[in-house]
Structures are given as C-alpha cells and as structure tokens.
Structure 1
Amino acid sequence: MQIKLNHVTADYQLGSVRSPRVLQDVSLQIAPGTFTAVVGSTGAGKSSLLKVLNGLLLPKSGWAEIGDIKINSKTSRKSLKAVRKIVGMVFQFPESQLFAETVEQDISFGPLNFGASREAAHDLAIKMIRRVGLDESILQQSPFSLSGGQKRRVAIAGVLAQGPEVLALDEPTAGLDPSGKRELLSLLKQWNKSKRLTVILVTHDMETAARYADDAVVMDRGKVVYHGSVRSLFADSEKLNRWQLDVPEARRFQLKFEAVSGIRLPNVCLTEEELAAALIEVGRV
C-alpha cells in the first residue's frame, strides 16, 4: 500500500480556533511494509500529517494518495470511509476511545460498521485480542475495569480488527510504564515484520525511533525537512542540533568515547547492544 503526499498544504480548524498552514507544501512517499518514526518539536505538524493520511484533515491544496485513493479538498465521504479502513488511526491515549459495555463489543464495532456479520466479528475479536497479547477470557469484561496497559491494547485491537494495511499511531506509549512501553513497541515491530504492516509512529522519544523504526521523517514548522534512514539521521549531529532533536543514549556515549579515546567505532550505534558489539570489535570490552 503505497503512501504519497504531493505538495500538501493544510489548515486546521476546530470551532472558532484556526491554525493556518499546519502543513506547508509537504511532499513525501512511504514505502509499503516500512516502520517510520515521525519526529520533531511540539507544533511541528506531526499529528496533522497523520490526520491527512487517515482523511481526518483534508488538504487545502495538493493531494495525498493512499493506494489508488486520492485525498484532496473535495474527496467524498465514501472515499474517506475507504481510506479509514486502509489506514487505522491510533490516537494518543487511545483508551479514551473505549465506549462499549464489553471488550468484545468494543473490538467488534468497527468490523460490524464495515459490514461484517456478528459471527465474523466475534471470531475477529478473539483473533485480535490474542494478537495484542491478551487472553480471550477478557472479552466479556468491561473495558473500564482493565489496567491502563490492557485498555490501550484493547483500543489497538479494535483498530486492527478493521484490517488496516497501515497503522498510524500518535504517541501510543504516552503514560505507560517502561515495561508496558517496551511490550507495546515490540508488538508493533513484530506486526511490521511478520505481517508486513506499514507502521507510522509519531514520537518525541528518540530512543523509540532509534530502536524500532527503519526510517524517520523530521518535521519542522509544518514542513518535512528530512526523510531517510534513522541511522543516517542520528549520524548527523549538526542536523540534530538544528532541529533540536535528542541523541539516543548509546549514540551519545559513542560520541563521547570517540572524542576522548580518539578511536572511531565501526558504525553508528543506536542501541546498547550495537554499542557493546562495536566496543568488543575495537577491543575495548
């Protein structure tokens, strides 16, 4: 499922509140089956980019293409519904989207809305609750009786039940403890690899981008200023400083080690495991 944005400019308006040009002349192409982190400072346009991909924010000019569906200022509701089946959107604190009496009803809502039979929706709820690492016995419980981490998994299961080819997530680990955060991100990476699910993840956490993403999109004041590999991004300290992006801890240690020792490690290290392997290679462990 190819994703392409062509010179997209967008304004955001909610009631009387209007933010002009939250996206400015954005052109971007995301290949199928990739894991892309969207990073940048607050207000850079990251969330607005996801909303265009899901049809929640229409371009003022330019267009977005999701597969063979084009989104522009005049896209019909029918086409937008088709887009939302392809691009599953997970908002920040997705558990706030829970509403039904039982977990099963919450997960089944989307499939039923898209025409699935009750039997098919039931089978899908079982499959999806297992996919997010929860036991099917939880299906008859109230979603509001669950822990925060469980609620978030149920909300994501509801999005997955719609069968998206693209999963767009806006800070999905916000508020989770370190263990819950690792578990959720590991699941996303697993689905990306095993199901070839395209994952687009908005995050402020450079450790997350470094460890889980293949590519990065850097946004600054509504514009895309970088789109390329995560490793190439974190190799360029000058650009990171310019865009006020943090450096992953392993990379920060590497830079200090190289400056003090005069020894250059064989590659850009983004995780502790890569750093340890590089230090062993140069005989420092």
Structure 2
Amino acid sequence: MPRSRELDLVGKVAVISGSSRGIGRAVAFNLASRGCSILGTCVSDKGLAAMESLDAQVTSDVYEATSRSRPADQTITGVVADIFSPDCATTIADAVDKHHGGKLDIFINSACDPMPGTIGSMSPDEISHSLLGNIQTPVLIVETLVRRRSFRPNSRIIYLSSIRARQPWDGQLMYAAGKSAGESLCRTWAQAFGGKNPAYEFMKGTTANSVSVGLTETDAVVDCGPEAVKTFQDEFFPGQSIPKFGQPEDVADVIGLLCGEDARWITGCVVSASGGGIKIC
C-alpha cells in the first residue's frame, strides 16, 4: 500500500541535482509526493526520460493510489545540466526562470564526482575535476541563484555529504576532501542566509545543512559487482548500529525531513543518515 504523506510542500519548488537515479531520484519522489514541484538535473536524454517516468510514478503511486487530487500547479521537469560543464549553474538558473518564474524554495546538491583520489597516482586534471564537481559547481549554483534573488524566504539548501568526510580511507583522498568542504559551505551559507545579513534579506530564514550518507544500496554500488559489495559490507557493517544496507528511500526521508517546516530550527548542521555508521554530536 503506498505511503500517504501530508501535502505540506504544495506551492514549493525544489531544484535537485542528479535526480534521475539513486538517492537523488528518491529525494525527488519524496518531495513530489508531498506536493512539491521538481526541477531535476541529469546529463543525458536517458536522464530526461527517467524524469518523465518519475512524473508518471508520482501520479500513479501517490495520487491515484490514494485517491487524492494532484495539485494543479505541480510540475516535474528534467533539465540537462552536467556538473562538469562551465554553464551548469546558468543552465539551472535559466530553467528556474523559465519554468518557475525565477523562484525556488529548496536546493539539494546530490550530484557529485565519485572519483576516489588514490594518493600518489592522481593527475592535476583528476584533482581539478574532483574539485569542480564536488565544490566549485555547487558554489556556483548557489552563487547564481543568490545573484538572481531566486531563493524565497525560509528556503532550504542541502548538500549530500558522506561518511567518508569523518571516517577517511586512504584510497579516497579527493572524495573525502570534497565532501568535507561541502559541509563547511553549509555552515557558512547558514550563517549568511538566516536573516542577520541585510544583503540576503530577500531569503531570510533560509537554512543550510549537509547530510552525511553511509553505505546505501544504490545502482552505483550494486554495479561495482558482488565482490566489491561484499567488501563494503565487511568494512561498514561492523561500525553501524543497524548492520545492513541503507536504501535510497532511507536517506531521502532524512533529507525530506530537513525540507519541511518542522526543520526550521536546524541549520548549519551535519545530519547523519548512515544507520549509526557515524555518530555526530
């Protein structure tokens, strides 16, 4: 039986990078099931088709299955915006202008560069590529949306971080560094956008948080093959309070919580979505 959620995000607009698969798609479904309009980024026509299928899934699994009417102004739209493209931020902001009158309420940075970064074997181009995908592009997206005054008051900014930011592995230097930097970005955005700085009065009350994601059974993990999956289990499960794979929906529920009104007093924080794989206080 489909879960019937409160339609608490009707009239809201969310921009979600990397929303055609994995955790990003689960987040998009979570927010859309609560009435939110979604502008999701992807990198190909296949991703655009996935966003169209998400629209159909929301209609069938959320509204038709629970005999509720879909909000008349709710839309789910895909846009090709590669985080490694120099015009990614502009493409997203232009899409917000085109589809939503230049206004949004939620930005979730899910897309990233998964390149681990093995010490002693990285090229300058690989290092730059990782910094571009995990730090520079998220900064430019927020910068562009702020300059255009696209954020409404009481908006939400959420950066998907990783357990690796606090439990490093010597084979993932750049990935861990990028996720740590994303957490720092959120602390600064939280301080800037809360309402103390007159320059950002138009978006006062905005919160910014990062979510530290643990071992999650996404397509990307499964595609690594059975041997790698077993290695992940052996590494992560002993340290988790709940010793099993998380599902994309588990992480999406945590992110969805931060997007709601009940999370208005949470900002500048790192929230763990790892089954207790990392304890943060």
Larger relative contact order (CA 8 Å, sep ≥ 6): 1
Give TM-score scaled by structure 2 length: 0.35
Greater strand share, 1 or 2? 1
